[in-house]
Chains A and B, each alone.
Chain A
Amino acid sequence: MVENRPWLTVLQHFVLLCGVALVLFPLWIAFVASTHEGRALVAGVIPLLPGDQMVENYRTILTAGMQGAGGASVGTMLLNSLIMALSIAVGKIAISLLSAFAVVYFRFPFRMLCFWIIFSTLMLPVEVRILPTFEVVANLGMLNSYAGLSIPLIASATATFLFRQFFLTVPDELAEAARMDGAGPFRFFKDILVPLSRTNIAAIFVIMFIYGWNQYLWPLLVTTDESFYTIVMGIQRMVTVADSYPRWHHAMATAVMALLPPTLVVLIMQRLFVKGLVETEK
C-alpha cells in the first residue's frame, strides 16, 4: 500500500490489535488460571491477573501428577506425547519421502494408480476408519504401546503429495548427472534428493509434529494404561473427575505445559518452515 493517511494506519493497527487480543485472551486466561488456587476459579469471577500459586501449581502437576484424578504425572504424559508426536512426524517424513521417490523416479506398472490410491487416502482420516483401524491394532496386540499410538497415524498422503510436487521440480539433469557419476537410485536419494528437500522436510516436520501432538481421539481409544496417556487426553481427564471439584488450576497449568513443545518446535523451525513453504532451492 502506498497510501499515507495517518488515521488509516491507526485504524489498521487497532483492528490488528483486536485480532491479536482475541487470539491471545484465552491463552492469557489459561495462564492466569494456572497461577491461582483452585478455589479462586470456582468462586464465580475469574481473575484476570496472575495469582501467587504459580510455582506451587506447576510443581504439583510436574511431580505429584494427578494421582487424585487417577492419572499419570504430567511429566510422563508429556514424554508420551513427545514420543508419539516425534514418531509420527519422523515416520511420516520417512515413508512419504520414499513413496514420493518411488512414484516420481521409477517407472513401474500402475504407477499413477498407486499415486492416486495414496492420494485418495486423504479422504480417510483416522476418525473415518477408526473402527477397522482399532480392530487391526487390537489384533496385532499393539494396544497400550507407543507403536499402537503412532504407527496407524504414520501413512500420509499430504506429505507424499508435497514431496512428489517438490521432486517434480528437481531438474531431470540432476538425476542424469548422478547416474553418470555412478550413483545408484538409493545413493541419489540419500546424497542429492534428501539434502535438497531439507526445507520441505522441516516444514512437514512442523506440521506433522503438531498434528501428532494434538491427537486426541486415537490415544483415547488405544490406551487404557495410564502410563501411556498423552497430555492432550490427560487434560480432558483432569476436568471430568467424579466426586470432586475439577481442579481447574491444575488442568490449566497442564494445558500451558502442553502448549509449550509445539510452540517451541514452531519457533525453532520457523525460518526453515517458511522457506520450505515458499521457496525451492535448486
Chain B
Amino acid sequence: MADIAIRNVVKRYGDTQVIHGISIDIAAGELIVIVGPSGCGKSTLLRMVAGLEVITEGEISIGGRVVNRLEPKDRNIAMVFQNYALYPHMSVFDNMAYGLKIAGRPKGEINERVQKAARMLELSELLDRRPRQLSGGQRQRVAMGRAIVRNPAVFLFDEPLSNLDAKLRVQMRLEIKQLQRSLATTSLYVTHDQVEAMTLADRLVVMNQGVAEQIDTPLEIYERPASTFVASFIGSPSMNFLPGEVDGDGTSIALAQGPRLRAMGQALGQHGGRSITLGVRPEHLAMVPEGEEDFHLQVGVVETLGADILVHGKLVEAGAAARQAKGEGGSGIIAARLPGSARVLEGERLPLKVASGLLHLFDPESGKRLVEV
C-alpha cells in the first residue's frame, strides 16, 4: 500500500504534446479510475506511472519516493494489460511465478504465494494449463494473479475488461472491486467505459485531450460536472445541451428553440442577460399532463430498454403550432429517459417538464460550469 503523487506531468513525443500537465494525488488504498475517449492520453499517463514511458516533465512519486528514473521492476508495481500479455509458452503457474523467480525468491515461497493467489482467483485447478487453453475470463484472472503474487504497492489496470464479452465484464468488474477492497492496494485503472468507471472508482479522473477535466467522486462528477465535456461523457445517453439566454432579472431562461423555462430561483441573478448552454440529463425529464410542461418533444425514435424507454426527438415550444427551431445555435435534438411503463408513439408530441434543481448551466464559449441551479 502506498500513496501516489502525480505532479504537473507532461508528455511530449517530439513536438506533439499529448499530456498537458496533470496533477493527481492518490491516497493509499484508493481505487482511481482514469476515464476518457480514445487518444485522450489516459493510457500514456498510466504507462508513465508504470515506467513504460519516459516522463517528459513533472514528477511521479509512489509511496513518497520519486520514481521518474526507476525501472518498472523497481517501482513496486504490477500491471494488468488489456490483452493480458500472458506468456503463451508457460503454464498458468509459471506465468504467475515468473516475476518471483526473477526476483530470486525461494521455491517454497513462490509455490505458496502462487497457490494462495490461485485460490483467491479460483485458478487452483488450472495451474498446469497453458493460456491458450483458457477462456477469456480465466486469462483475465491469470493476469490479475500475476499482479497479485508480487504483492505490489500499486496495481495498474490498462483497460483490463475490454476484451471480454458484456456479461463477463460485469462479473469481472465486481471481482476486481472486491479484490481491490480486500487487498486494499492502491490502484490506477484506465478505461473508456463510463459504467466501469462509475461503478469501480473511489474517485474518477475524467481526461480529455491530455488534460484532467475533473477529478472527483463518481457521484459528484455526475451531479456537478465541471464542463460540458465531462457532462456529456459521463451519463448515458449523454446530457442534452440547449443554447439559451438568461433573462435580465435572472428568473427564467429563454432557449434558442423558443421555449422559456421559468422559476429558476435566486442563483441565476448574477448571470442576468447572459448567453448560456443549458444541460439537462435525459433522466431528469419527466412526462407531465398537458399544460404543466416546459416544452414539447416532437418524438422521433423510441428505444425500449425494458425498465426505461429512451425517447429521441426535437424540442418544440409549448403550446405553439409545430414551429421550426430557430436557426441560431443547437439543433434542439434531445433525448429523454422515461419509465418503461410510459406509452410513447413515434411522431407524437410529448409534454415534458424539467425536474427542478437538476439543471446545469455552462459557459457557451469555454464549456465551463457556471452555477449550481
Contact = CB atoms under 8 A, between A and B. Distances in A.
B79 A187 contact: no
A48 interface: no
B52 A282 contact: no
A181 B99 contact: yes
A225 interface: no
Is chain B's interface secondary structure helix, strand, loop, or mixed overall? loop
A179 B85 contact: no
A177 B79 contact: yes
A179 B86 CA distance: 13
Contact of B71 (A171, A174, A179, A282): A179
A174 B85 contact: yes
Interface in B34-84: 50-52, 71-73, 77-79, 81-83
Contact of B89 (A181, A183, A195): A195
Interface in A188-218: 191-192, 195-196, 198
Contacts of B81: 173, 176-177
B73 A281 contact: no
Contacts of A264: none
A182 interface: yes
Contacts of B102: 181-183, 187
Contacts of B73: 179-182
Nearest to B79: A180
Interface residues of A, number: 19
Nearest to B102: A182
A174 B87 CA distance: 7
B103 interface: yes
Interface in A131-189: 171, 173-174, 176-183, 187
Given A181-B73, A182-B73, A182-B103, A176 B85 contact: yes
B125 to A, nearest CB: 24
Contacts of A198: 89
Contacts of A177: 79, 81, 85-87, 146
Contact of B83 (A171, A181, A192, A281): A171
- Output the residue of A176, A181, A191 with the most chain B CB within 10 A: A181
Contact of A176 (B52, B86, B87, B98): B52
B88 interface: yes
18 contacts: A173-B81, A176-B79, A176-B85, A177-B81, A177-B86, A177-B87, A178-B98, A180-B73, A180-B79, A180-B99, A181-B99, A181-B102, A182-B73, A182-B99, A182-B102, A187-B102, A196-B88, A198-B89
10 A-B pairs with the lowest CB-CB distances in the bound complex, closest first: A182-B73, A173-B85, A181-B99, A177-B85, A195-B89, A182-B102, A173-B81, A180-B72, A179-B72, A180-B79
Interface of A: 171, 173-174, 176-183, 187, 191-192, 195-196, 198, 281-282
